[in-house]
Amino acid sequence: MWDGVRELYHLLRGVLQKALGRYGLLLSEYRALALCGQGPVPLKSITRALGVTPAATTDVARRLAHRGLIRLVAHPTDRRSRVAILTRSGRRLLRRARDDQQQVLRDLGVRISPPARRGLQRGVAELRRELSVPDEA
């Protein structure tokens, strides 16, 4: 069963990455943009959210800044740190990419029978409880 879950995870990542490829984004870049969509975010917070090294976060931030999707500014209280701020074009791209990803997931959900979808939802909710991850509404 767990091999199936792992394979499903990789297949789903591939589907989502393909959708993001239309925007020239990697999943890590999309996730960083989504974090910035909530307001200015310290690069340290992006590192924690992505579960990567600070160097990897710096690479993601540089690529996004080079494309004009974020601005990197000095942290207001920690001179050694920087904060990423979403630009207007970053906000537009994030909105389009998010809409596309949600449509891909809706289309996928439609192809699953209602009983299978309900079973999957129950299984995911139970796993979240067991792993102590708060359930999303």
Full pLDDT tens readout for the chain, 137 residues: 888 889 988 999 999 999 999 999 999 999 999 999 999 999 999 999 999 999 999 999 999 999 999 999 998 888 888 999 999 999 999 999 999 999 999 998 889 999 999 998 999 899 888 887 565 55
pLDDT of 1 reads 84
**What are the distances in angstroms from CA 29 to CA 12, 19, 62, 76?**
17, 13, 10, 24
pLDDT of 77 reads 86
pLDDT of 80 reads 85
What's the pTM?
Answer: 0.83
> 25-126 domain in CATH 3.20.20.70?
no
Could you state, in order of their start, the residue ranges of all structural domains in the chain?
25-126
Q: Which residues contact 104 (CB under 8 A, 6 or more apart)?
A: 15, 16, 19
Give which of 65, 31, 66, 63 is closest to 47, Cα–Cα. 31
